[in-house]
Every structure is written in C-alpha cells, then in structure tokens.
Structure 1
Amino acid sequence: MAAPADAKSPNPGAPPGSAADGARLITLGGGITEVVYALGAQALLVGTDTTSLYPAAAQATPKVGYLRQLSAEGLLALRPTAVVAGADAGPPVVLDQIRSAGVKVELVAADHSWEEVRRKVAAVGRAAGREAAAQALQQQLDARWQAVQERVRAQPPARPPRVLFVLSHSGSPQVAGEQTAADAMIRFMGARNALGGFQGYRPMTAEAMAAAAPDVILTTTQGLEAVGGTDAFWQRPEVALTPAFRQRHTPRALVHLDALELLGFGPRLPDVVERLHRQVVRA
C-alpha cells in the first residue's frame, strides 16, 4: 500500500506549493483533493468540500460544505482563482455565479474508469500551474495501474466470485447495479457484480439478495458503522439468504473499505484494486 500522501508524496520531485504561485484552489470531490496532495501543491488549497477527508491534513482545510449543496458566498469568501470539481458539483446556478465572478471552474466528468483519474490529475495540474508535475505523476500512476491490471488478468479464477455492493450510510440500504463506481471496482478486481440488468442503485430487498446470491458482500466502513458493525449487519434478514452469510465467519464474506478510498477514484485506485483482488479474488 502506498504511503499516505501527507507523509510521502507520490511525486517527490514536484515543488511545494506556496502563496507566491498565485493560484488559490478550491477542490470539490475527495479524489480531486487527493491529487492536489499527490502533486505536493497543498499549500495552494484555500478550501475543500466535506468529502475531502484524505490525507488527514485535508480535514483541516476550510470546508465549503457538501459538493452538491454549495453556496456562492461561501466559495467566493475564500477568494479562489480556480475551482476544480466533479461534474456532479452544484447547484449549477452557484457554479455560474462563481464563473461570473471571474473564477475559473473546471468540472471533471465521472465515468468510473481509469481515464477519470487521469482527467483529475490533468485538471489539477492546469489549475495549479503544475502541468509538468502532473504529467510526471500521471506516468507513475499509469505504470502502477498497468502492473495491477496485468496481475489481475494473469491468473483469472475458474469462477469469479459474485460480489454484491451494499450502500447503507443512511436510510434504507441500497445495492449497486451497473454504471456505478462500485460496479467498476468489482470488475477491476477481477470479480463479477452479483446484480445486473439495471443501472444505479435500488433498495436491498430479500428478493434482490436471494436472486443475487453473492459470495462476497462489499460495503463501506462508514456504512458498516452506521448499521452497528459486523454482527449487526449479519443479523439483517435479507442477508441470511445469501451464500456470503453461510461463510460469514471467513474474512472474505464481508469486506469493507473507507468510502472515499473505495469509491473516490483518486490516485490510490491502483492500490485499492490490488488489495481487493488479493482479499476477494485470490483468497
């Protein structure tokens, strides 16, 4: 696993950020904020959103709220020169107000691919005036990604495990179908999404769980904590209908990672995929 970005930059040759650089950045989206730290440009950050929790130093940055519930006043009060955000940031009228104030706004499209990570690196490089450093970082990340993907493809299992992602941070638990970040992660690790035939998320019902028949249940650490921990999770009646439940005393039956690490599609993506491949597919 790579060292945390606040302990060791993945691009140690990049010059440290400083106020003299002129750029004042606000980043909206945890994966985008991670890129700033990976480039060693964190001194240029004047604000981040509430999903920007890694590295630990990002938690001490001024917060502008949740990336989908922004206010122009809060953003402009930090006097940014550029805002780099995921395409789901908004509301759109707020971003229009920011642009009208002369702030450069760059939105990064999300398609749950490696190209999404590359777009984030390039966007931060442009906003920070660190294009050369961003290109060097991207070369390192591309090489790491290629190595991990070759490892995943090297010894495919005869029967890829069926993995079901459960999202349960609040309200009723949801399960992930196609065209979701969770679906992409399952495929990247060399496993199979236990659910298909629909896009996005839908409620976790007993019928859906029985039909999915997952060997492994994947969730976020925050979601597991929200339902009261591992023991409480296995007590849900829907889960009792699955092969994973019958193997609940094994480490592979229920796998959880931090939400940003698992679904953020930032520079840690190769490390996360490699770890999940070992824990879920090669176990």
Structure 2
Amino acid sequence: MRLAHSPLHFGLARSVERLAGRRFQFLFGLAFAIVITCGAIVQSVAAERVIEDATGRKVTIGSTDRIVTIGGDITEIVYALGAGDRIIARDTTSSYPPEANAKPDVGYMRALSAEGVLSVKPDLIIAVEGSGPKDAITLLESASVPIVIVPERRSGDSIIAKVRLIADILGETEKGDKIANDLATKFKALETAIARIPENERKKAVFVMSLNGGKPLAAGHNTAADSMIALAGGVNPMAAVEGYKPASDEALIAAAPEVVVMMNSQSVPDPDVVFDSPALRATPAARDKALVAMDGLYLLGFGPRTADAARDLAHALYPKLDLPEWPAAN
C-alpha cells in the first residue's frame, strides 16, 4: 500500500530540511569563528616576548607596529634593521637617517613629556638609558604601553649587544645577527690596527663641546667623547675630570693637547677662531692648527656607524697608520 504525500506533509518536510541546513551553517560558522579566534589568540601569545631592560624590569612586548624611539642610536638601529616604517615618532636627537626627520618629534630625550609621548598612541616605546626627566619615565613605565630602557654603554661590545637587544624586541633576530657580526668584524680589525701604535706615540686629543666666550667646555672621563677618543687610539688629557666641564686656561695649557676634536653638526668650526682662545692658543694643537670636526651624531652616537666614525677619527689622528678598509657608511 503506497502512502500519498499531502502538500502539508511535503511542506513540513521542506521546513525541517531548511531548519536543519541553517542550523548546520550556523554551527559550522560558529566553529570556524572559534578556530580563527583561537588561532589569533595563539599567534598573539606566541608573538609576545619578555625582555629584561637596562633597569632590570621584565617588559612584555606585544605589537611592534607603532614605535616611539627615544635616542639617536635607538632610531638608527631600528632603521638599520629595516623597521623604520614602524617608527611613528622620535626624539629631537634622532636625526639620522635623514628620513627620520619626517617623523613627529616628541621632544629632547632628557626633557620629555609623558603625555606628549603617549599622545601619538604607540604600541611600544624604546628609550635609551638616561632619558628623562625621571618623573616622565616613571609615568611612562606605569602606563599600559610597554617601554623598554636600552643600556647606554660606550664600547664596541656594548653597541653589538644593543643591536641584538633591539633586534630581539622587534622580532628581527636574523637581521640583528648580521649587523652585529659585521660590527664585530669592523671593531676587531680597527683594534688590531690601533694596537700597532706604540703607547708613547698615542696622540693627546681633547674634545671641545663648545667655546662659550672663549671658554672651552671640554670632555672628561665617562663621556661619549672620551670613549670615542679611546676607540680611535687617542689619549684624552682631560680624563682626570668627570663629564663635560668648563676647562680653565691653566688646565688646558697643562694638558697640552696635540689635536682638538669638535662637532660640526650646525656649523664647521673655524680653526682661527678655535685656536685664538686663550686656553688653546699655547697648545701643540694650536701650533699645528690640528682641528678635527665631525658630525655630532656620527661621532658620538654609538650606534651602527660608530666603527666607521672611530676609523675616520683614527685616520685624522694618524694619517700614516694602515687602517682597515670597508665600504663607507651610508
């Protein structure tokens, strides 16, 4: 006996089929969304890195898409790692490479405003040790945006370590290794060349930050200039003092520098003006008009170009010294 399907039975069956189909689609879509969400969470967690910074703080790094860099060396390293496009703002000292100048300026590294830094909505702040003032850094450390304080040391090894640290922060370890290895090779070659200079033939080179009214502001111990003079094989005759200090006429005359090193970041120093200073007039450097002027950030930045700057300064101090050759810095 065959049962006839009435229109009512047929419509009910179709409704059940459509309901079942929609339910299946809903459940499938829900399952797919859950898989995607879980995958995103896993990727996000996997992307997070914990970095110990110069202050000993454990900083959890998530996104590095929007970075504020504080310190010319930090900015240079980020660009060298090919991540310059992630920088959304930088401090006033970050003037290299030239394209960094197009980024918004959040102020001088030692006179920062926490509100100003946070106003650009960064994912991450990377600041060199010594940035300040202290209250601003404390506020930034207490904000929800991670801030990593990078050690400020002044040696070849410390620059290499700084490159590796920033590469780890950005997830660019392979590029960081290449830059670090290249720097290690350069510093070693330069050190080998300078080791051939007898101690009694090392040039006494004094760094003069400025000549305010003819009074030199000279670099003593524990300064970037003192470290750079040492890297280039020179001797700083003002190393008995700490930091940058005004030097008396008597002190500089007694120091008897053979070379004066200055910055030409804003203008090129005039040897006639420099050596007309009473503090320098009677020095061996004045007798020979031995003045070396170099770009300030290049000379004192202690970033990826420091090996090049040290070699250039060594060449200025010792023109006849056989120094290693490598491609010129950009």
Specify if TM > 0.5. Answer: yes
1:37 paired to 2:79: yes
Q: Distance in 1 between matches of 2:144 and 2:229?
A: 41
Tell me the residue number matched to 1:122: 164
Tell me the residue number matched to 2:207: 165
Pairing partner for 1:65 from 98, 101, 107? 107
Tell me the residue number matched to 1:16: none
Contact 2:164-2:173 within 8 A present in 1 as well: yes
Tell me the residue number matched to 2:305: 268
- Where does the alignment leave 5 or more consecutive residues of structure 2 unmatched? 1-62, 321-330
Tell me the residue number matched to 1:277: 314
Opposite residue 203 of structure 1, the aligned amino acid is P
Contact 1:25-1:128 within 8 A present in 2 as well: no
Cα deviation, residue 118, structure 1: 2.2
Distance 1:129 1:169, change over 3 A: farther
Tell me, what secondary structure is at the counterpart of 2:65? Answer: coil
Q: Distance in 2 between matches of 1:127 and 1:78?
A: 20
- Aligned-pair identity in percent equals 36
Cα deviation, residue 224, structure 1: 6.0
Tell me, what secondary structure is at the counterpart of 1:154? Answer: coil
Give runs of aligned pairs for residues 1-283 of structure 1, distance below 5 A. 22-156=64-198, 158-168=200-210, 173-222=216-265, 225=268, 229-248=270-289, 253-283=290-320
Contact 1:167-1:220 within 8 A present in 2 as well: yes
Q: Distance in 2 between matches of 1:239 and 1:64?
A: 38
Distance 1:65 1:108, change over 3 A: same
Q: Distance in 2 between matches of 1:202 and 1:222?
A: 20
Tell me the residue number matched to 1:15: none
- How big is each residue's C-alpha offset from its partner over 1:155-192, in whole Å with a ceiling of 9 and x where there is no partner? 44651111111111868531111121111111111111
Cα deviation, residue 154, structure 1: 3.3
Opposite residue 286 of structure 2, the aligned amino acid is F
Tell me, what secondary structure is at the counterpart of 1:107? Answer: strand
Task: After superposing the two structures, state which structure 1 stretch, 205-214 or 108-117, moved more.
Answer: 108-117
Query: Which fold has the larger relative contact order, with Cα–Cα distance below 8 Å and residues 6 or more apart in sequence?
Result: 1
Opposite residue 224 of structure 2, the aligned amino acid is A
Structure showing greater Rg: 2
- How big is each residue's C-alpha offset from its partner over 1:25-76, in whole Å with a ceiling of 9 and x where there is no partner? 1111111111011111100101110001111111111110000111112111
Q: Distance in 2 between matches of 1:104 and 1:196?
A: 38
Tell me, what secondary structure is at the counterpart of 2:292? Answer: strand
Q: Distance in 2 between matches of 1:46 and 1:78?
A: 7
Contact 2:206-2:257 within 8 A present in 1 as well: yes
- Where does the alignment leave 5 or more consecutive residues of structure 1 unmatched? 1-20
Contact 1:28-1:52 within 8 A present in 2 as well: yes
Tell me, what secondary structure is at the counterpart of 2:304? Answer: coil
Provide the TM-score with structure 2 as the length reference. 0.73
- How big is each residue's C-alpha offset from its partner over 1:107-161, in whole Å with a ceiling of 9 and x where there is no partner? 1222311233123312321332212321222112111221222122234465111
